[in-house]
Amino acid sequence: MASRRFYQIAKVILEYGLDDLIPPNWIPWYAKAGRHCLFWLRNRHQNTSRGARARLALESLGPVFIKFGQMLSTRRDLIPADIADELAILQDHVVPFDGKIAEQTILDSLKISHIEDLFADFDPVPLASASIAQVHTATLKESGDEVVIKVIRPGIEPIIESDVELLRSIAAVVQKWLPDGKRMRPIEVVEEYQKTIFDELDLGREASNGMAIKHNFTNSKALYVPHFYTDYCTQNVIVIERIYGIPVSDISALRAQGTNMKKLAERGVEVFFTQVFRDSFFHADMHPGNIFVSTEAPDDPHYIGIDYGIVGTLNAEDKHYLAANFIAFFNRDYRKVAELHVDSGWVPSDTNVDDLEMAIRAVCDPIFQKPLDEISFGHVLLQLFNTARRFNMVVQPQLVLLQKTLLYIEGLGRHLYPQLDLWSTAKPFLENWMKEQMGFKALFDKVKNNAPFWAEKLPEIPDLFFNTLNQLKVLPELQRQQHEALKVQQRIHQKATLYGMLGSTGFVIGVLFVLNDLPVYYDASAFILGGIFWFKAISKVMSKP
């Protein structure tokens, strides 16, 4: 199955001429030879622009590759503008499926006989179509609220399963054969991605994610999350409040209404860091197709976020190390960055901190000579990862979503406001967060928050103390019993080994008797003794003490 899918991917790449996009000097001779061997797979779209070819190829390969194209579309600092413009179409203009199929899915999921039982003005023509699902507009019959109905694509799960299986096979090869394979932990990264994308197939989970983020941003001036009609949310269908706004990628429309672009870009950074560090729960699919800007108050703009199928979480330890790392970078404290990498376990504990500090300094100092608004965070990350390879830095799968989302945010912010200073926008937020996590106030808040729990457990402390003393009393006897059991196991193992050796010796002697033409009862005796000893060896191994 994986080999068939691999061939299909290679076929699509070659038939859409995507190999022509790679500079010839980057292609090794054996790859060029292999390309000539596949003579029957020619570029069938020579008259189509390179951006359109890339988009059409990713569309034909399915949702996993469409997601990759969506991510690339936000990185205009990495890919040419004409390709980025075409890939941006993947954000909400993937080829739709039949509206009648969508309608039948709605009927089956919501257990109704006719669409008119719940909805008026249902439009079978989708409003937007993406890699995992598409949305249709309607009006709730009971309340008159305008809504959108999101419907999962039919037959999407087997396609994703095959693609993820292929990625897992490639990851296994990478981990085994590449010099940096184990450090990169590709299998764990694929498993993390598998969990993420299969979670996205459950629209009920998306509704739950959206409601959690909506609660976190109640009365926020930065982000609005549409209302989810929970009575009509299932695994394959969800019903959401219809929102009206300007797509964040429509720069001309935003400027036409007089939007404060600087404030809008900075608010995007603030929303991201608030979700990560305050809430530990962040929207991890923030490509432009999922973000709109309200038409209310252009001078004080706020975002409208949709599609909460992919979210990320971080534990307290990861958050602390990340925030401390960011602040150390902002302050160019490379010694602190090196120490944090060792303390967090991202590099081996025996790493020479002085050497790591010098390597980080050599990478970052030339970059920081530029004005801050010209520094690409993505470029800094790439340079640091290349440097960290020398120190066996281990890839952290739980941070992959965060890294991807941060690159989304930087790409989006620079698209809105090219002079965006990501560093100075994020630094005050992170410094305030770190102050809240350390010091007397943080200790007081922690005690205050945990006081009800401690008060509830206080009456149980005498019992717990008494039970602990009892366990300590019997501990020596338990240890003695475990030691005796271990000694018995060792004796059994030694006897089994001895009997096995004697059995093998008996068979070897029997073979020698046969080769030297000794009487048959000599051979038989040796083989019988060997068999008896082997039987005893097997019996010892199978027996329980």
Q: For residue range 443-477, what is the model confidence (pLDDT) as tens digits?
A: 666 666 777 776 777 777 787 777 777 777 777 87
Could you tell me if residue 407 is inside a domain?
A: no
- In the chain, the number of structural domains is 3
Same domain, 152 and 238: yes
Is 285 an annotated catalytic residue? yes
Asked if 200 and 206 touch (Cβ cutoff 8 Å), the reply is yes
pLDDT per residue as tens digits for the range 138-189: 999 989 999 999 999 888 888 788 777 777 776 776 677 655 556 556 677 6
Q: What is the DSSP string of 331-373?
A: TT-HHHHHHHHHHTTSS-TT--HHHHHHHHHHHHHHHTTS-GG
Residue range 272-282: mean pLDDT, rounded: 87
Could you tell me if residue 342 is inside a domain?
A: no
- The C-alpha atoms of residue 393 and residue 363 are separated, in whole angstroms, by 16
Could you tell me if residue 258 is inside a domain?
A: yes
Same domain, 69 and 110: no
**Lowest model confidence (mean pLDDT) among 30-34, 321-325, 428-432, 506-510:** 30-34
Asked if 203 and 234 touch (Cβ cutoff 8 Å), the reply is yes
CATH code, domain carrying 300: 1.10.510
Phi-psi region of 294 (alpha: psi -120 to 50; beta: other; left: phi over 0): beta
Sign, CA dihedral 536-539-540-545, equals negative
- The C-alpha atoms of residue 419 and residue 370 are separated, in whole angstroms, by 13
Q: Are strands 303-305 and 223-224 parallel, antiparallel or unpaired?
A: parallel
Q: What residues make up the domain containing 503? A: 464-542
DSSP for residue 528: H
Q: Is the pTM of this model over 0.85?
A: no
Which of 291, 309, 327 delimits the end of a domain? 309
| 120-155 exposure pattern, b = at least 16 Cβ within 10 A, e = fewer | eebeeebebbbbbbbbbbbbbeeeeeebbbbbbbee
Q: Annotated catalytic residue: which of 92, 163, 285, 307?
A: 285
Phi-psi region of 297 (alpha: psi -120 to 50; beta: other; left: phi over 0): left
Could you tell me if residue 205 is inside a domain?
A: yes
- The C-alpha atoms of residue 169 and residue 176 are separated, in whole angstroms, by 11
- The C-alpha atoms of residue 327 and residue 38 are separated, in whole angstroms, by 51
Same domain, 149 and 72: no
- The C-alpha atoms of residue 395 and residue 407 are separated, in whole angstroms, by 17
pLDDT of residue 241: 95
Could you tell me if residue 287 is inside a domain?
A: yes
Could you tell me if residue 361 is inside a domain?
A: no
- The C-alpha atoms of residue 385 and residue 399 are separated, in whole angstroms, by 13
pLDDT of residue 30: 59
Other residues' Cβ atoms within 10 Å of the Cβ of residue 438 = 10
Other residues' Cβ atoms within 10 Å of the Cβ of residue 433 = 19
* Alpha carbon distances (Å) from 329 to 112, 181, 212, 367: 57, 28, 32, 12
Same domain, 274 and 304: yes
Same domain, 159 and 244: yes
Same domain, 299 and 237: yes
Could you tell me if residue 326 is inside a domain?
A: no
> Residue 107: is its pLDDT beyond 70?
yes
pLDDT of residue 302: 92
Asked if 327 and 437 touch (Cβ cutoff 8 Å), the reply is no
Which of 294, 309, 324 delimits the end of a domain? 309
pLDDT of residue 531: 82
Same domain, 103 and 79: no
What's the chain's average pLDDT?
79
Q: What distance, in Å, lies between the first and last C-alpha atoms of the chain?
A: 47
Same domain, 526 and 498: yes
Same domain, 36 and 166: no
Same domain, 265 and 134: yes
Which of 309, 339, 361 delimits the end of a domain? 309
DSSP for residue 228: B
Could you tell me if residue 278 is inside a domain?
A: yes
Q: Are strands 146-152 and 237-241 parallel, antiparallel or unpaired?
A: antiparallel
- The C-alpha atoms of residue 454 and residue 461 are separated, in whole angstroms, by 10
> Residue 257: is its pLDDT beyond 80?
yes
Same domain, 120 and 245: yes
Same domain, 103 and 69: no
pLDDT per residue as tens digits for the range 3-12: 666 677 777 7
pLDDT of residue 536: 78
